[in-house]
Structure 1
Amino acid sequence: MNRRQFLQASLATLVAGSLDGRLAFAGADKGPLILSAVDDETGHHLIAGVDLQGRQRFLLPVGNRCHGGCERPGTVQAILFARRPGRHVYVVDTGQGNIVHDIAAGDGYHFYGHGVFSPDSRYLYVTVNRYDTGEGIVRVYDAEDNYRAVRDMPVGGIGPHELVLHPDGNTLIVALGGIQTHPDYDRIKLNPDTMQPALLLMDRQTGGIRKRFRPSHHQLSCRHLGVSPDGIVVAGYQYQGPTWESRPLIAHYDSNTDTFREIGLPKSLQRSLHNYVASVAVSPASPLSLVTAPRGDRVVVINHRTRALVSDFEVPDVAGALALPDGSFVVSSGTGSLHHISADGLEAETVATLDIHWDNHLTFHG
């Protein structure tokens, strides 16, 4: 048995033995951590923390299926958000491996599964739906005041999903999906014919919308995104129109030139994505970005400066994507595997295979 086979066998045994609804903790560790929402083989919802080699740190049972996450800068805390239309946000102490706070959306509201902190780590910005009116908002929580909700900022549209902070430290970049939902109808899309998706630039201090960019078709739901240190935004779409159509699924905004474009891929590759991008990761150390397309079992790497295709890989049921500080990437799969993508975007290697099903996002905690 070689080293990788031994590692995978050991990890599978460790995880399978601990996924019984109880908290599992392998001890505190000061190294980098990957967090994600996962399900076990029986359908229980958990938050997993693993190291960069795929070794388990903790598994935390939660009452809702989670989605995206973010780290609280300069602290041991990370945040995992319930999947739309969920009503809980979980604050995780990554050092102790436990949940220290549960933020409820409140009556009449649900979360969309994403959030981001201010540079000083005090304020948490979360995408929220007021479902009686369908109004999308960014809600602000004060982490220094026990995560008290302090402000709601309307986005002027329906379905704000992922949001990230621009390198200027003041602009929130918001992917506005345009899809109206209601908890009584689970994840049913209530307005496919009247969708108005957009990429938004919001002032986090005033709540004012600085820019609003529309996709080339009103059913291209803008859902996930990332931003480079030099202010280039890469966004992923999910097309809600006829399945036989094939439309651009990657958007590009350069804040240095104030230019918004969509990136076309070779026709065969474009069709293979099946109109669905799940996760976006933008490298902090190179001009490369990566998107995952689980319906097509594809990972696509682009150069976000030139908008050129670099490579694509087949990963069955690919899920989350994460850019590491060294310029390389990690992607997960619903089959339980973790894969490392080299910093040049040309090589993929399986790191581990676990007895869990990864959700569509990975969160780094350094």
Structure 2
Amino acid sequence: MLNRRGFIKASFAGASVTAVAACSNRLLTPAAPALELVSAVDDANGQHYISGVDSSGQKRFQIPVAERCHGGCPQPHGDHVVVFARRPGRQMHVINTRSGQLERSVHAGDGYHYYGHGVYSPDARLLYVTMNNYQTSAGLVRVYDAFDSYRQVADFDLAGIGPHELRLHPDGNTLVVALGGIETHPDYDRIKLNLDRMEPALILMDRHSGEITARYSPSHPQLSCRHLDVSPDGVVIAGYQYEGPEWETPPLIARLDTATGEFSEPELPLDELAGLRNYTASIAISRHSPLAVITAPLGNRAIIINYRTGELVQRIAVKDVAGALPYGERGFVVTSGLGGVFLLSADSDQAVPHGSYPVRWDNHLTPGQFVVA
């Protein structure tokens, strides 16, 4: 476990002292733990950075990077947070959390690009990363050895196209992978090349052998399975992005109980579903209560559900809502592409402001140190 004092003391260049101080005072209340956040951000000029902020806001880092980044992951019991370029980017960046410096950048290699997500093994040694072989369109999970300068040690074939977010199951042995089903190629930037023949899935994979142990398909082939989280008791909540006609309102949430193998798509009220505008972004599950938050930036809202029953608990308006992490007993912290940081609670339909920064937050937040489930 990282020493809290050893984590990056960070804020954003150009943020007002008043905003940072106000954020700090609220976040250091005795009733709530300190926030430590890392995220990809862009400034007003479109420059890409990896930035960090802690609850004091007194020290700062903002690391410029050549490509826009997306998600990240903390190293269990170690010093690293890795942030990945988003599709079709080709670098991942290893930040040392004790020094606050970029320790190394790792290139995807000729013919490959990253999808913006990864996860460590429980012993902190192996890093599993979703990737695309764009010469064949094959999706894969690449394995790196973090104890050996992030040397590539294996590639696991996913038998599908467009893997995106992955998480480690609480059993410590199973990777849960969202397979988006969308073919892309760096020569065409982010153009989707196969919307008429998508095969999205939610996949369970043995992290030791690469064997796919289960595969679950969405109810419609154009429901791209993109983001997910896993509860301490092994329930997966995944979010879809619908690639069909915008006037249709298919389900946008999947639920998998890995203990029973039961896969379902919880129903939301039709007006609520329409308000998500067929696009979910970040998903975060509470470590202390049966709650999950799903952000929908196009719909300018976040919803909180009971992940055990799939029932809607709360809807909260946040303009251009982006990343999310669990916070406290029944709450979550979220960011906005407009620069704001907010606290959400299952007990209120109002977002509580906790600072505003002159950056555009990307769709994901990473804890600045490893948090035990």
Q: TM-score normalized by structure 2?
A: 0.89
Aligned with residue 199 of structure 1, among 177, 202, 207:
202
Aligned with residue 98 of structure 1, among 85, 97, 101:
101
What one-letter code is carried by the residue in structure 2 that aligns with 1:65? R
Superposed displacement of residue 55, structure 1: 6.4
2:269 maps to 1:227 = no
Q: Structure 2 matches for 1:62-141, cutoff 5 A? A: 62-141=65-144
> How far apart, CA to CA, are the structure 1 residues paired with 2:125 and 2:344?
33
Q: Is the 8 A contact 2:12 2:51 kept in 1?
A: no
Q: Structure 2 matches for 1:1-366, cutoff 5 A? A: 12-13=15-16, 33-52=36-55, 57-324=60-327, 326-342=329-345, 344=347, 347-366=350-369
> How far apart, CA to CA, are the structure 1 residues paired with 2:359 and 2:212?
40
> Cα deviations across residues 49-85 of structure 1 (Å, max 9, x unaligned)?
0124666632111111000000001112101000100
> How far apart, CA to CA, are the structure 1 residues paired with 2:229 and 2:58?
26
What one-letter code is carried by the residue in structure 2 that aligns with 1:337? G
Superposed displacement of residue 328, structure 1: 2.4
Report the RMSD for the aligned CA atoms in angstroms: 2.0
**Alignment partner of 2:260: what SS?**
coil
> How far apart, CA to CA, are the structure 2 residues paired with 1:281 and 1:55?
27
> Cα deviations across residues 87-125 of structure 1 (Å, max 9, x unaligned)?
000001122111001010000000000000000000000
What one-letter code is carried by the residue in structure 2 that aligns with 1:130? N
Superposed displacement of residue 12, structure 1: 2.5
Superposed displacement of residue 10, structure 1: 11
**Alignment partner of 2:61: what SS?**
strand
Distance 1:345 1:224, change over 3 A: farther
Distance 1:223 1:354, change over 3 A: same
What one-letter code is carried by the residue in structure 1 that aligns with 2:69? C
Q: Is the 8 A contact 2:12 2:61 kept in 1?
A: no
> How far apart, CA to CA, are the structure 1 residues paired with 2:85 and 2:216?
27
Q: TM-score normalized by structure 1?
A: 0.91
> How far apart, CA to CA, are the structure 1 residues paired with 2:268 and 2:18?
38
Q: Is the 8 A contact 2:301 2:321 kept in 1?
A: yes
**Alignment partner of 1:144: what SS?**
helix
What one-letter code is carried by the residue in structure 1 that aligns with 2:253? I
> How far apart, CA to CA, are the structure 2 residues paired with 1:9 and 1:152?
37
Q: Is the 8 A contact 1:54 1:338 kept in 2?
A: no
Q: Is the 8 A contact 1:53 1:352 kept in 2?
A: no
Other-structure match for 2:27: none
> How far apart, CA to CA, are the structure 1 residues paired with 2:329 and 2:273?
29
> How far apart, CA to CA, are the structure 2 residues paired with 1:84 and 1:51?
28
> How far apart, CA to CA, are the structure 1 residues paired with 2:165 and 2:12?
35
* Structure 1: gaps spanning 5 or more residues: 1-7, 17-30
Superposed displacement of residue 175, structure 1: 0.0
> How far apart, CA to CA, are the structure 1 residues paired with 2:327 and 2:150?
28
Superposed displacement of residue 348, structure 1: 2.6
Distance 1:15 1:217, change over 3 A: farther
**Alignment partner of 1:268: what SS?**
helix
> How far apart, CA to CA, are the structure 2 residues paired with 1:10 and 1:163?
31
**Alignment partner of 1:172: what SS?**
strand
Superposed displacement of residue 257, structure 1: 1.6
Superposed displacement of residue 285, structure 1: 1.0
Distance 1:261 1:288, change over 3 A: same
Superposed displacement of residue 9, structure 1: 12
Distance 1:222 1:321, change over 3 A: same
Q: Is the 8 A contact 1:69 1:363 kept in 2?
A: yes
**Alignment partner of 1:270: what SS?**
helix
> How far apart, CA to CA, are the structure 2 residues paired with 1:159 and 1:292?
21
Superposed displacement of residue 347, structure 1: 4.9
> How far apart, CA to CA, are the structure 2 residues paired with 1:85 and 1:356?
22
